Amino acid sequence: MTIVYEKSKGLTDVPFHYCPGCTHGVIHKLVAESLVELGVLDDAIGVAPVGCSVLAYKYFNCDMQEAAHGRAPAVATGIKRALPDKVVFTYQGDGDLASIGTAEVVHAAHRGEKITTIFVNNAIYGMTGGQMAPTTLVGQKTTTSPFGRDEAHCGKPIRISEMIATIDGAKFVERVTVDTPANIRKAKKAIKRAFECQLKGQGFALVEVLSSCPTNWGLTPLKALEWLRDNMIPYYPLGNFKDFGEGK
Amino acid sequence: MAKVLMKGNEAVGAAAIKAGCKLFFGYPITPSSEIPEYISRALPEAGGVFLQAESEIAAINMVYGAGGAGARVMTASSSPGISLKQEGITYCAGAEIPCVIVNMMRGGPGLGSIQPGQADYFQATRGGGNGDYRTLCYAPASIQELVDYVMLAFDKADYYRNPVLICADGMIGQIMEAVELKDPEPMELPPKDWATTGTGGKRKPVVVNSLYLQAEELQEHNKHLIEKYKLMEENEVVYEAFGLEDAEVVCVAFGTTSRIVKTAIKQAQAKGIKVGMIRPITLWPFPYDVFKEIGDKAKGILTVEMSAGQMIDDVKIGIAGRLPVYFNGTQGGMVPTPGSILADIEKIAGGAK
């Protein structure tokens, strides 16, 4: 019998708790496969956030630490400085990274911290039940922007990849999404490259993954991906913002 | 090793390095900035890592990461900075990460002052962060004690898998005294098989975590922590006490204040008043039991603190209503004078109401 597909060894057997149609599962798979394919799973130490992916420490089949809300890049800094030969990554959502944890991610990038950050942007606070995120689009209705995000009241959504790319210490920054098989392949390539950035000792690497939240957007999984394409991608353009050059 | 003259804050750094501290994460603040300054020079020489964090919050979370990866790690600050670290301290306590946190206390609340204070007693002994947790807390009264307890703190942190606080005040941080950096007594410590060091393909993954979504599981974890704290209460109480049996007045003070109290006690004794003293060296666990040794001649207890009265609550628990408890306090960075303490001692000895 030929095995044509199997679950990555980078994931444990614990069933995901994610809602139907949520793309966290796909992104977890890409991170896990990247660690395995680069041969670094046994040297990897991951840092889980607070938010929908708070339980990521149960899913990645490597040593994990659970950080306080937004502090994952600081925790990862502590790990990497203690164990510079290990592969350290954070997995964070938009509330965690783009709101409460902006100082930590900006300064980790600024120091050129040799860690890899996977930033999942679904434009909403999912875990707490659909509140406005710093990445919520103008006009987007959430439980704390019931009439739609008002730019005059709370500004425009924050573009993290563009901001991080301006920092010298950040050596790899790319925004991807996982709405189609083709885009999933591109996302995987970017995630692998972000780990290579760390393995080559280049500096900080961030991959922003545009993700859907059917539950809190109030859409079916397919409609949610359509909404992502029609609304998120125009504001959050896909593509590479920075690459460390070698072997590009 | 011969004695050397050292400033308190620099002695903290020297003691930490001697105790095998490999990483220090901090943020400058008066009156403890000489700690990161000293360590930034000396720790890299000793093969360790100094990193100035972008904030106190980041610093304590770097401590969480490095401590969770099994390294000996420390941070230091002064009162407002320690407030910022409280989130990280409760996470360290919850995830059972060994680490050492030094607080060179200054006046408060808020931005307060940069002069010495002891008003972080509640925060240190009752837990400034959320949830049920305890931190072993040493309050040294001299630079020698400071270095001895900084070194001990690393062993105790590893032994109990718990954060350990050093609560000194700005005076201890800033003064210079002769100090000997003695080799610490070797202590048998459990292996750090829980630390995230990478599986190396040789073991199952480990997780450093304080989240337990099932209430039953969290209660089990709480019970485990409570058992650990009980062991600390049974085994880790440290204090200095003298003259309790025939004292007319018993003074209670810690840190810098205890030194001023000792001067006042000598002056009182010269006037023929018998004064005993209890000096907690661990603020938590507090030496409640030693209060039972106070004899029948005692007329009252005098608690002296550079605060509005915080340790006095523990003194009242210790004396359990047997004697009246009086308070002599200075705030805002002011330091009590022997004269004011002597006056209170005389009043109590004379039957103050």
Residues 6+ apart with CB under 8 A from B337: B260
Mean pLDDT on B239-262 = 98
pLDDT of residue A246: 57
Which residues of B touch chain A, with CB atoms under 8 Å apart?
Answer: 22-23, 25, 49, 51, 53-55, 57-59, 61-71, 73, 87-88, 91, 95, 196-202, 205-211, 213
In a domain, B198, yes or no: no
Q: Cβ contact (<8 Å) for A86 and B67?
A: no
In a domain, B253, yes or no: yes
Is-contact B208 A65, C-beta < 8 A?
A: yes
Q: Which residue of B has its CA nearest to A9?
A: B201
One domain for residues B172 and B64? yes
For residue B345, give how far its alpha carbon lies from the nearest alpha carbon of chain A (Å).
48
CATH code for the domain of B293: 3.40.50.920
What are chain A's domains? 24-242 (3.40.50.970)
Q: Which residue of B has its CA nearest to A64?
A: B207
Among B43, B208, B212, B221, which would you mutate to test the A interface (most chain A Cβ atoms within 10 Å of its Cβ)?
B208
pLDDT tens string B112-142: 999 999 999 999 999 899 999 999 999 999 9
- Answer yes or no: is pLDDT of B257 > 90: yes
Q: Cβ contact (<8 Å) for B205 and A74?
A: no
One domain for residues B229 and B320? no
One domain for residues B162 and B189? yes
pLDDT of residue B127: 82
Is-contact A157 A136, C-beta < 8 A?
A: yes
Q: Is A35 on the interface with B (CB under 8 A)?
A: no
Count of domains forming chain B:
2
pLDDT tens string A77-105: 999 999 999 999 999 999 999 999 999 99
Q: What is the domain range of residue B94?
A: 4-193+207-235
**How far is residue B218's CA from residue B214's CA, in Å, rounded to a whole number?**
6
The phi and psi torsions of A149 (rounded to 5 degrees) equal -60, 125
Minimal Cβ distance to A82: which of B71, B88, B205: B71
Q: Which helix (H) or strand (E) holds B239?
A: strand B239-242
- Answer yes or no: is pLDDT of B206 > 80: yes
One domain for residues B222 and B155? yes
Residues from chain A contacting residue B196 (CB–CB below 8 Å): 45, 63-65, 79
pLDDT of residue A141: 97
**What mean pLDDT is reported for chain B?**
97
One domain for residues B98 and B17? yes
One domain for residues B304 and B257? yes
Taking Cα atoms as reference points, which of A84, A108, A59, A83 lies closest to residue B196? A83
| CA-based end-to-end distance of chain A | 38
DSSP A107: H
CATH code for the domain of B38: 3.40.50.970
Q: Is A76 on the interface with B (CB under 8 A)?
A: yes
One domain for residues B180 and B263? no
Strand order in the sheet with A204-210: A239-242, A170-177, A204-210, A116-121, A87-93, A44-48, A63-66, B207-208
Q: Which band of pLDDT confidence, cut at 50, 70 and 90, is reported for residue B353?
A: very low
Q: Which band of pLDDT confidence, cut at 50, 70 and 90, is reported for residue B4?
A: very high
One domain for residues B308 and B176? no
Among A83, A96, A127, which would you mutate to test the B interface (most chain B Cβ atoms within 10 Å of its Cβ)?
A83
One domain for residues B227 and B257? no
The share of chain A scoring above pLDDT 90, in percent, equals 98
- Prediction pTM value: 0.97
Strand order in the sheet with B249-252: B239-242, B275-280, B249-252, B300-305, B325-329
In a domain, B202, yes or no: no
The token pair at B241 is 């006490």
Low-confidence stretches of chain A (pLDDT beneath 70): 246-248
Minimal Cβ distance to A74: which of B65, B69, B70: B65
pLDDT tens string B279-338: 999 999 999 999 999 999 999 999 999 999 999 999 999 999 999 999 999 999 999 999
pLDDT tens string A43-73: 999 999 999 999 999 999 999 999 999 999 9
Q: Is A17 on the interface with B (CB under 8 A)?
A: no
Q: Is A57 on the interface with B (CB under 8 A)?
A: yes
Helix (H/G/I), strand (E/B), else coil: A33: helix
In a domain, B125, yes or no: yes
One domain for residues B52 and B29? yes
One domain for residues B212 and B303? no
pLDDT tens string B19-71: 999 999 999 999 999 999 999 999 999 999 999 999 999 999 999 999 999 99
One domain for residues B256 and B112? no
pLDDT of residue A1: 84
E strands within chain A? 44-48, 63-66, 87-93, 116-121, 170-177, 204-210, 239-242
Among B54, B56, B213, B221, which would you mutate to test the A interface (most chain A Cβ atoms within 10 Å of its Cβ)?
B54
Residues 6+ apart with CB under 8 A from B344: B302, B326, B328, B352
Q: Which band of pLDDT confidence, cut at 50, 70 and 90, is reported for residue B352?
A: low
Taking Cα atoms as reference points, which of B128, B121, B124, B28 lies closest to residue B78? B28
Q: Cβ contact (<8 Å) for B87 and A79?
A: no
